[in-house]
């Protein structure tokens, strides 16, 4: 059996061997994605941005909550992190955490922490049935329509992060409401690598009608979109010349499945 060829755009690498942060990585065949499958020729591209590379980490990194170690083997609390993880993950013999879904074609880190980075994604729905609407923001980093969520701060609980992110990004304050937790899962975040990824707690807030939403931190815009079905919402987003953030599609689908099961 011939060894699969690992393909990556070497022309995209800078003189130090790093790829742009949005580099898609090399092609990983499905039969080689699992970590238990040996792949001696695997050579993922490193997408670590300058501010998280070894030299920069000797200084304070403004705006980031980071692991100070340039490599994950310098992290010493993996047992605790595994115990508190939203989604179980393994750590290899070298002390490197392994993405729960397998190889990604990318290595390095473009997230605050090695391993799991916990996020909270509040899905706010107004109205019922075919007259439902969902609150989305336009992310200011990738300029796509997304759920108004973000990272859980150190020492913060997921419910607190849900309320905070919603208020900061849309101006909508639902602190007096108890959301329905829909699930906890790894999301296909654009920054993920083999050794750093995002796992989210998604929660549903239901309202009788729309309220005013105003774009705040990390959001270029905020507004309501028809949510009778996923197809209806995506068609409206496309008609407006915008794009839905693909990583949030499964979360929105889960919310719809829950809503459609209600009497």
Per-residue pLDDT, 248: 95
Q: Are strands 145-146 and 90-91 parallel, antiparallel or unpaired?
A: unpaired
Per-residue model confidence as pLDDT tens digits over 45-72: 999 999 999 988 877 666 667 898 999 9
Say which CATH topology domain 116-261 has: Nucleoside Triphosphate Pyrophosphohydrolase (3.90.79)
Mean pLDDT (whole number) for 69-91 = 96
Q: What is the pTM of this model?
A: 0.88
- Asked whether residue 91 carries a pLDDT value surpassing 70, the answer given is yes
Per-residue model confidence as pLDDT tens digits over 129-186: 889 999 999 998 889 999 999 999 988 999 999 999 999 999 999 999 999 999 999 9
Q: Are 71 and 11 in contact (CB under 8 A)?
A: no
| Angle (nearest 5°) at CA 80 between 78 and 85 | 90
Per-residue pLDDT, 166: 95
- Closest C-alpha among 110, 118, 99 to residue 198: 118
User: Cβ contacts of residue 193 below 8 Å, gap of 6+?
Assistant: 44, 47, 99, 104, 106, 107, 108, 109, 110
- Closest C-alpha among 213, 204, 218, 85 to residue 140: 218
Per-residue model confidence as pLDDT tens digits over 7-25: 455 557 888 899 999 999 9
User: What pLDDT band is residue 6 in, cutting at 50, 70 and 90?
Assistant: very low
What rounded mean pLDDT belongs to the chain? 92
Q: Write out the H or E segment, with its range, that includes residue 79.
A: helix 78-83
Q: Is 243 exposed, middle or buried (0-12, 13-18, 19+ CB in 10 A)?
A: middle
Maximum distance among all Cα pairs of the chain, rounded to whole angstroms? 60
Domain ranges for the chain: 116-261
Angstrom CA distances, 87 to 99, 118, 197, stand at 10, 10, 11
Mean pLDDT (whole number) for 200-211 = 96
User: Cβ contacts of residue 57 below 8 Å, gap of 6+?
Assistant: 66, 68, 69, 70
User: What pLDDT band is residue 5 in, cutting at 50, 70 and 90?
Assistant: very low
Per-residue pLDDT, 57: 86
Sequential DSSP letters for 209-244: S-------TTEEEEEEEE-SSHHHHHHHHHHTT--B
Per-residue pLDDT, 250: 95
């Amino acid at each position: 059996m011939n060894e699969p060829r690992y393909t990556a755009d070497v022309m995209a690498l800078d003189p130090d061997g790093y790829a742009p942060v949005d580099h898609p990585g090399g092609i990983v065949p499905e039969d080689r994605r699992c970590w238990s499958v040996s792949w001696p020729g695997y050579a993922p591209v490193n997408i670590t941005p300058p501010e998280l590379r070894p030299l920069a980490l000797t200084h304070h990194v403004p705006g980031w909550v980071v692991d100070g170690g340039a490599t994950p083997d310098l992290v010493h609390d993996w047992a605790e992190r595994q115990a508190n993880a939203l989604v179980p993950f393994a750590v290899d013999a070298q002390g490197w955490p392994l993405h729960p879904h397998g190889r990604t074609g990318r290595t390095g880190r473009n997230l605050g922490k090695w391993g799991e980075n916990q996020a909270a994604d509040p899905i706010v729905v107004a109205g019922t049935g075919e007259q439902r609407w969902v609150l989305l923001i336009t992310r200011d980093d990738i300029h796509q329509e997304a759920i108004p969520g973000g990272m859980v701060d150190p020492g913060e609980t997921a419910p607190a992060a849900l309320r905070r992110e919603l208020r900061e990004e849309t101006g909508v304050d639902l602190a007096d409401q108890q959301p329905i937790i829909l699930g906890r899962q790894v999301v296909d975040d654009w920054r993920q690598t083999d050794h750093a990824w995002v796992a989210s707690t998604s929660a549903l807030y239901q309202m009788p009608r729309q309220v005013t939403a105003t774009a705040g931190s990390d959001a270029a815009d905020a507004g309501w979109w028809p949510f009778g079905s996923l197809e209806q919402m995506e068609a409206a987003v496309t008609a407006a010349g915008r794009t839905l953030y693909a990583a949030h599609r499964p979360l929105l689908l889960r919310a719809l499945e829950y809503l459609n099961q209600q009497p």
